[in-house]
Structures are given as structure tokens and as C-alpha cells.
Structure 1
């Protein structure tokens, strides 16, 4: 194809501009925007990754901040996360920021929540010579014993990310995660401080975060002596699930208001934003009729009513987990130094949806 979009420099500038605006891009979307093939876009992404301008992920790329003066890397560190969208890009950016100071290079791969792909990605990273693996494992069908058996065969240090792993066999590994249970407690405590005596809970329950949010919500309700309130498990709401999501959210909304419950914690912020829309369609006002705190803060500020949300310590967590890995690479014998289990506290970002801002 001819024309200005066929010029590599023009394509690269467009790609980097979209990354600056959105934080991540898909090769398919960029190909449509530029009128070129996905093969061409993927080749551009590889060139920009080699130049240190972005990180390549399955199906596209994510931004890693402004480029710095190149330095010889001491070690490549492999990172395997389930997804390149939503929760993990901020963590990866934190790793990237920390890697520059430590003269390390982050090599990113995604598992798409598929255990077999996760294992292949780790094998590939080991084959290309990474000195360690930071891993957010998929736990949909494997047990912790099965995970421990597999990880014990990985020939480089492994640090777990964003998972609460309970077994003794896994406790010997370093880990860093967000305290999602405490984050849910922050949300309930805030709503209780505004005078609400019951707080409903709606969860996207097919995620590793959901059980921790449920535990934290229950602990805060019991400690504060709040009344029982409706609970709803929510589907993802994509690819044919939008009707079932709306049905679940409407049923939750009706159960709350029908029972005199005027506050709710909703995971995720995408689900919470949809709940606001459905409430508005029914003449229900947020926060006057129902105060909402979203769990997650990826797009919460963009909702019809900007959402008060539990904000994870993404960049801080990424910097911390990379520091742990760098130290573990320097001392790979797990029996020589104690395993470190780091838990970081999220914060509450107050916006209009809870009624605290007039």
C-alpha cells in the first residue's frame, strides 16, 4: 500500500501517540486506523519494543513510559500476567520504572487466563535467558499443590504477583500483592461513616480478587454491626453476556432498594458504571437513592456519575515486586534467605457516587 500511513516513521508516531492516550493498543485496531495489515503493525511493534519505546503483549502493546538513555542490562526479568488490560498495566509500568534504576529489562508475556499458555510463556522466557520470573498464576482449575509442583521445576527464581497463596509449598516463594480484603473494608467503612446501616455487595465473581473482596466486605459488616444486605454474583458482561449482566444488576438494584438498603460496593468499576446507567434509566439517583463505591479504579472517573473507588497501588506494587526479584536473583538460594510476603494497602478515591462530595 502507498500513502503516508505506509511510511514506518508515520506509523510509529501514530502507534506511540495512541499508547500515550490510551495506555494500550491492539494491533487489529491500529491496522484499521492506518489502513495497513496487522502483520505490518506487529512488525512496527517489534521495532519499537527493540528501541525501548513500548512493551509487546499478546495482540498488541502497552506503554511503558518515556524512553530513557539506554544502559547495558544486568538481567532480563520475565513477567507473566493474565491480561494486558485493566488491572495489570499500571503494575507493569511500575516494574518498568524500577527496572531502569536497576539496569534490568522487563520481558512481558500474557497467559489470557489459560494455564497451558501460561506454562508455555514461562518456558519461552526461560529459553530466551531471563534470570527470573514474576508470575500472576491462573488458578481457575489447578490446585495450589499442582502449581507448586510445576513452579518447583522452573530453573530460575519465581516471585508471585497479586495472588494470595496459602499452601506451605508455595509459602517458600517470595510474593507481593494488594490487600484486596482490606480494600473492601475501606469501602464498607466509608459508606458506614456516611450513615448507611447496610451495604450490599455485587461481585464479578470469576476473578481471583472476588473472594478477597467478599471476605473483606463480610469482615467489615460483622465488625461494624451492619444489617444484612443483598449479594449478587455478576458475569463479565461481554460477548453475549450483556443481557445477563443487566438482568443481574437490575435484580441487585431492586433487592437493595426493596429492602431499604441505600449503599453498595460493586466490583468492578465497569460493572458499577453500568449499574449507574441502569439506575438512571429507572429514575433512581446515585448517590441520593443509592450510594456506590466501585472496587477497581481503571475507568471509574469516566462513569456517568464519577465513581468513588478502591484504588490499587499499581505502580508501587510493580516497583516493589521488581525490587524483590532483583534481590532474589542476587541470592537465588531460597534456603539462605527468608521468603518475603509483601502486602500493599489500596486507597479510597472519593468522587461523587458515594455522596461525600456535594
Structure 2
């Protein structure tokens, strides 16, 4: 289905603002539209006073001024519309500012490879270090970023991301939630309440999502008390590759087919929507089906407050900032820090 022009222009503007400038040909390739279409969109955005046109190049009117080394600045790069990382950013900022550093936030638009030009530009402008959480929707996206990240001329710390062991980024500092342990707590809580048939409805478009899915399989296979378990997508847009036909059954349908008495949902919003769908299908939460959310951003706000795994978002941000400060001071070897999440037990889980 063709993307609406308004949404396409919004993405163009986000990409240009994030990078400072972009070539029309590059934008056309990223958006998978013709150069003529991008030129028309750029012309409209220029008429609206939102960007500046050049010969084959589009420039932002809102790009931050170049950084100077004396600014003592550290850059943070996170994906667009990623509320989960907001608390991590605040944790990192507090730690950096306490150390006398200036924290500068850059938002990577939702186009493939958006982080690289942003990172390379701000490094060239004089930033002293980089905290980054690449979107990495697929494993291929992740692998494609390893070499250029390793080649940056400033200290880099991955925030809420851990590279593949043995990769060129293996010795890069990183701070991340221990998501395996988060899934362990969710499953252990449900098993302790007597649940023996479980469903995981998870996303499949981020490193966190992939970790949760593999952890669920490993943990359930190792628990002899669990009689049956299954995995499906938590939402229609949860798959990393929209060109792959969705053959995953809807969550409610899977719960019925497995005769599951409990479901774990990634993320909170999808968990809240599942509760509505279950109620509409005559399956009461938690009387007929207990629900555990993963994220704990809005989990307490449901009509039935959701039990949730709460990643230590601010702590991860602080840990990432401390790793970067240590690297700038040339202290010690690179480290991987895994911070344990906690389980917030609320009204959506009961014994069976």
C-alpha cells in the first residue's frame, strides 16, 4: 500500500533534521520511492519553510550548531518514538552533567541506517564520546552497523544493546538490562501460581524482542512443570520484516488453542490491548487468564493493573554514562554491564 504523502514528508523532515542534510537520491532509496516524488515532497517542505533546498541536497533549518571540543560534549543517539529509552536518557544525562559533561541528544528517524550519518557527523563536529542505542530491527541491520561503530574515533558505549560475542564490537563498552532474567522472573512467577500452559506474545523487531523470545523458549524447555507453551506476535506490526507474510495466530486464538491460563506480553501497550480483546472474547483477566506485561511503562494504568517486568531504565542509562566517563578517563578495560530488572506484582496475575 502506498505511503500517504503527509507521512512520507514527515519521514523526510525527520531524516534531514537528524542528519543536518541529505541527498535527494539517498532519501528516495531509503523511502523506496522515485526521485521525482522526493523532489516534489522537498519542494513542498521548502515552501512550508521546514527545510532548505540545494542542488541535489536538502538541508535542515534546525540542525544543532557544530560542537567544539571545548564544549566537553557527549552525544546520545536513540531511535525516534522510543519511549522506553526516555528514562535511560534521563539517567545518562544526570550522570554526565554531574561529571561536568554536556549531554546532547540526537534522534534517529525510522529509516534504515539512520544512525550512521548522525554519528559520523557529530563525531566530526567534535563530540568527545557517544552513547548510542541503534534500532537494529533485524540481525542483518545489527551486523551491518558493527564495523562503522568500531571505527569511530571517539569512545562509544552501547546503551540497552549488547553486540554478538566474538564480533568486532565484542570489546565495546555496553550497559543493558538482563532481559533473560526478566523473562525468568515472569515465567517463574506464573509457574509458582500454578500455571502450566503459557503463551508469549512478543515483538520481533528489536534486540530486546529477540532476546525475550529466545529466553522464553529456553526457560520453558527447562521447566518440567510446564505442560505446553507457544509464541506468537504481540501485534500486527511487531515483525521486523513487513514483506514476510504473517502466519502467526492472533493471541486470543493461540491462548484458546493451547488452553493457556497465562500470557506474557511484550510490550505494555500490547498487553493492555490484549486484556481488552480477552474481555471481548469472554475470557476474564485474571480469573480465566493471568497476564504479565514486559516494560512497565504504562502497565499500572490498565483497568486491571498489570503485573509487569520492569527493566531498570534509568539505571541502565546511568551505567552507560559511567562506562563512557571511565573510558574518557582511560580507566580499565571495556566492560559489559547487565542490570537486573524487577517484577512488579499487581492485579493481573492470580493462582489457578
TM score, norm. by length of structure 1: 0.71
Gaps of 5+ in 1: 1-36, 40-45, 51-72, 239-246
Residues of 1 paired with 2:107 and 2:236: CA distance?
A: 19
Residues 96 and 321, structure 2, Cα contact 8 Å, conserved in 1: yes
Distance 1:123 1:308, change over 3 A: same
Q: Secondary structure of 2:176's partner?
A: strand
Cα shift readout 1:98-156 (whole Å, capped 9, x = no counterpart): 12211112111122343432111112321332100111123336465542321233111
2:155 corresponds in structure 1 to 157
C-alpha spacing 1:236/1:119, structure 2 compared with 1 (3 Å)? farther
What secondary structure does 1:215 align onto? helix
**Mean Cα displacement is larger for which, 183-192 or 94-103?**
94-103
Q: Distance in 2 between matches of 1:301 and 1:248?
A: 28
TM-score under structure 2 normalisation? 0.72
Secondary structure (helix, strand or coil) at the match of 2:232 reads strand
Q: Secondary structure at 2:260's aligned position in 1? A: coil
Give runs of aligned pairs for residues 79-228 of structure 1, distance below 5 A.
79-139=76-136, 140=138, 142=140, 146-168=144-166, 169-225=168-224, 226-228=226-228
Counterpart Cα distance in 2 of 1:215 and 1:308: 21
Q: Provide the C-alpha distance between the structure 2 equivalents of 1:38 and 1:269, rounded to a whole number of angstroms.
A: 38
Moved over 4 A (4+): none
Q: Is the 8 A contact 2:197 2:258 kept in 1?
A: no
Shift of 1:257: 2.9
Cα deviation 1:176-224 (Å, max 9, x = unaligned): 1111121111100000011101211111212221111112212321232
Whether the aligned pair in 2 keeps the contact of 1:189 and 1:220 (CA below 8 Å) is no
Q: 2-side partners of 1:223 and 1:86: how far apart?
A: 33
Distance 1:235 1:354 in 2: 21
CA contact (8 A) 2:233 2:251 kept: no
Q: Which residue matches 2:10?
A: none
* DSSP 3-state at the match of 1:170: coil
Aligned to 1:233: 233
State the partner residue of 1:11: none
| Aligned equivalents of 1:144, 1:218: Cα separation in 2 | 22
CA shift for structure 1 position 316:
0.7
Q: Aligned-pair distance for 1:258? A: 3.9
